[in-house]
Amino acid sequence: MAGRVRILPDRGQLLVSTDLHGNRGDFDRLAGIFAALRAEADDPQTVHWALLGDLVHGPSDLARRRDPARFNYSDQSPVLVEAVIALRQRWPDNVHLVLGNHDHGHIGGPHPSKFYPDEVEALEQRMRPEAIARMHALFDDALLALAAPCGLLLCHGSPSTLLESLELLDGVDLRDEPDTFKRALLRSILTSYGQPQQVTADMLAQIATPELPLAIVVHGHDVDLGGWYTEGGNQACPVLFGAPPSNRRYLLIDLAARYEHTDDLREGVEVLRLHSP
Give the residue-averaged pLDDT of 82-86.
98
Nearest-5° Cα angle at 42, 251 to 24: 40
Give residue-wise pLDDT tens across range 91-124.
999 999 999 999 999 999 999 999 999 999 999 9
Min mean pLDDT across 14-18, 177-181, 203-207 is at: 177-181
Alpha carbon distance 61, 65 (integer Å)? 6
Residue 276 has pLDDT above 90, yes or no: no
Residue 277 has pLDDT above 80, yes or no: no
Give residue-wise pLDDT tens across range 207-260.
999 999 999 999 999 999 999 999 999 999 999 999 999 999 999 999 999 999
DSSP readout, 224-265? -TTSEEEETTTEEEE--TTS-GGG-EEEEEETTS---SGGGS
pTM for this predicted structure: 0.96
Alpha carbon distance 69, 75 (integer Å)? 15
Q: Which residues of 227-257 are buried (b: 16+ CB within 10 A; e: fewer)?
A: bbbbbbbbbbbbbbbbbbbebbbbbebebee
Alpha carbon distance 154, 221 (integer Å)? 12
Check residue 148 and give its pLDDT.
98
Residue 88 has pLDDT above 80, yes or no: yes
Share of the chain above pLDDT 70, in %: 99
Mean pLDDT taken over the chain: 96
Check residue 207 and give its pLDDT.
98
Torsion of CA 203, 223, 24, 71, to 10 degrees: 170
Residue 187 has pLDDT above 90, yes or no: yes
User: Phi and psi (nearest 5°) for 79?
Assistant: -75, -30
Give the residue-averaged pLDDT of 145-163.
98
Is the CB of residue 47 less than 8 Å from the CB of residue 37?
A: yes
Q: Which residues of 67-78 are buried (b: 16+ CB within 10 A; e: fewer)?
A: eeebbebebbbb
Environment class of residue 95 by beta-carbon count within 10 Å: exposed (0-12), middle (13-18) or buried (19+)?
A: buried
Q: Could you tell me which residue, 156 or 3, shows the higher pLDDT?
A: 156
Give residue-wise pLDDT tens across range 5-34.
999 999 999 999 999 999 999 999 999 999
Helix, strand, or coil here: 98?
A: strand
Environment class of residue 61 by beta-carbon count within 10 Å: exposed (0-12), middle (13-18) or buried (19+)?
A: exposed
Domains of the chain: 5-74+85-273 (3.60.21.10)
Tell me the residue type at 223: V
Residue 2 has pLDDT above 60, yes or no: no
Residue 1 has pLDDT above 80, yes or no: no
CB atoms within 10 A of CB 204: 21
Which is nearest to 218 in space by CA: 147, 143, 264, 155? 155
Check residue 224 and give its pLDDT.
92
Residues 6+ apart with CB under 8 A from 128: none
